[in-house]
Every structure is written in C-alpha cells, then in structure tokens.
Amino acid sequence: MAYSDKVLDHYENPRNVGSLDKNDPQVGTGMVGAPACGDVMKLMIKVNDDGIIEDAKFKTYGCGSAIASSSLVTEWLKGKTIDEAYAIKNSAIAEELALPPVKIHCSVLAEDAIKAAVADIKAKQSAKEAA
Amino acid sequence: MSQNYFALFGLSPLFDIELKTLESNYRKIQSESHPDRFVTASAAEKLASMQTATLANEAYQTLKHPANRAKYLLELNGITAVSDSNTAMPMQFLMQQMEWREALEDARAARDIATLEDLHHEMQAESKSLQANLTQLLDEKKDYATATEITRKLIFIDKVCADIYKAIEQLE
C-alpha cells in the first residue's frame, strides 16, 4: 500500500516521541489499543494552570499510519486548551494525512488517545480540588 | 454466511478443535476440487469446483489460527469481537503491552537475541494460557462476553509474538 507523503514524513521523522512524568499532577496520560491490528498508543500531555497544553509526547507501536496519526496530533495539541483538544476529530487527522479507508482506524486510535489523556488530566485536577 | 466453516470440515463448532482433522479434511476438499480433475468438465462444474476450493481455503485460514477461530465462533453467536471504533482495552493490559514493546525495542537495539528468545517464549506461554481460557469460556461456560475480551487480548499477544519473531530473524 502506498503511503501519502505526509504519512511518510511523520513516519520517518516522528515529532515528540517519548514520555513525560506520569506522576506529575500536570500530566495526563492516554493509553489505547486497536484490537483490529494489535497496535498500541500512549499519548501524554502537560497542561499548565491556565488549562493550556504546553507539551505532548507519544509512543506508538504499530503501522506507519498509526505512528503518523499520533505524531501529527502531538503537533496539533501544543498551545490548545484541553477542551479544544477534546474536540479534535479523527476525520480531521485522516484528512490531513490522506489516510486510505483501511487506515481510518489509526486516526480513530489517535482521537481516542487524546480523549483518554484529557479524561486523565481532568480526573487528576478534580482529585486535587477535592483534596 | 452461506455455510458454516466447521461443518465444511466435519468439525463441531468448538474452539478446541482437532487440528489434524481440520488439516486432513482441508487437503481432501482441495484435492477433490483441484482444477486438474475438471479439465473435461462443463463450465458450470468448473465454476462450482473453483468456488468450493475458494471457500475451503477461506474456512481453513479462519479455523487454523486460534484468534481467528475465536472471532469466527463469536460471530456465529452474533458477536463482533473486533471493530475499528472500539479502542478501549483494560489499562493494566495496555501498560503490560507497552512494557513488552519497550523490552522488544531495547533488545533489538542491543542485538540481544537471548533476551528476544526469552520474550518470545513468554509471549507463546501467554498465548497458550489465553487459548486454554478460551476453550473453557467458549466450549464449556458459553461466556461470550468474557471470551470477547480474551480474544482481543490474544490478537495483541499474537502481534507482539510475530514482531519478536521478525526481530530475531533479522538479527540472525
């Protein structure tokens, strides 16, 4: 299958690969997996006191499209509020990367990883408020 | 689904099947529907034999692999175990996946075949234990909800296992 130039670019030069400190109260972690292909994706976001995402890192074990989808969203996430991040749709990722229909699930994985990371940071924030 | 894959090979619809029976009945159907036997047959007979061979091949591939067999059994019971839109897996399991993936990556970078082989054995043992679990859940307890979870886990384990095997092959 032919990958688009954008997928190849992110696949060959992935942005923001790595991890953040998962115990940091400002860091939210989203971990998801695609049972269709066995891909796993971890996305971490660091959110400052104004609710802005300062940093984002990912680690994805999967095909080129899954790696490109997660690499792309780490670029998109920086500077966004968590609510803006939560609103990112997989269709926007798929469109940007020109993913073929059989690879749409890779963009779904990235969207779900964002949602899981946002849910994690919100849970941390409300735990802090309750304390 | 026009014909049950298990019935095609004279098997009961169970997870724990006799692989030898599957294999020999598959070979039998393949040889009976082989094009060489239909050189002088009518066009309709040729077409029918080709369709039989195609179906048998598809059925064999599905039943031979444990994860595919489990998926198919669940499908027969009206359950779609794997869909693109469902990416929720137990957190503990995903963390374990990440650890295995990182161990694979480190061992590959260090060209450490012994560690890769240990990992491969660990994955095979894991796969076996999930399969034993599936026999119980699918064949005895008919607990399809739990079997769906285990089937999904098995797909991940098989993927890691295949990737470790590939890494070993590349280094050897």
Per-residue pLDDT of chain B (172 residues; tens, 9 = 90+): 457 999 999 999 999 999 999 999 999 999 998 888 888 888 899 899 999 999 999 999 999 999 999 999 999 999 998 887 777 788 899 999 999 999 999 999 999 999 999 999 999 999 999 999 999 999 999 999 999 999 999 999 999 999 999 999 999 8
Check CB contact of A24 with chain B, cutoff 8 Å: no
Q: Where in chain B is the domain with CATH 1.20.1280.20?
A: 91-171
Quote the number of domains for chain A: 1
| Angle CA B51–B32–B22, to nearest 5 | 85
Q: Helices A90-97 and A5-12, interaxial angle, to 10°?
A: 100
CA distance readout (Å), B15 to B62, B73, B123, B128, B150:
12, 7, 20, 13, 13
ipTM, two decimals, is: 0.81
What domain range includes position A22?
5-124
Q: Mapping DSSP to helix (H, G, I), strand (E, B) and coil, where does residue A27 land?
A: strand
Residues of A in contact with B81 (CB under 8 A): 35
User: Which neighbouring-strand residues pair with A21?
Assistant: none
Q: What is the pTM (predicted TM-score) of this model?
A: 0.86
Nearest by CB to residue A112, choosing from B87, B97, B155, is B87
Evaluate whether residue A129 is within a structural domain. no
Instruction: Compute the distance between CA of residue B25 and CA of residue B31 in angstroms, rounded to an integer.
Output: 10
Residue partners of B149: CB distance under 8 A and separation at least 6? B90
Check CB contact of A32 with chain B, cutoff 8 Å: yes
Architecture of domain B91-171: Up-down Bundle (1.20)
Architecture of domain B5-64: Orthogonal Bundle (1.10)
Beta strands in chain B (DSSP E): none
Nearest by CB to residue B82, choosing from A32, A36, A61, is A36
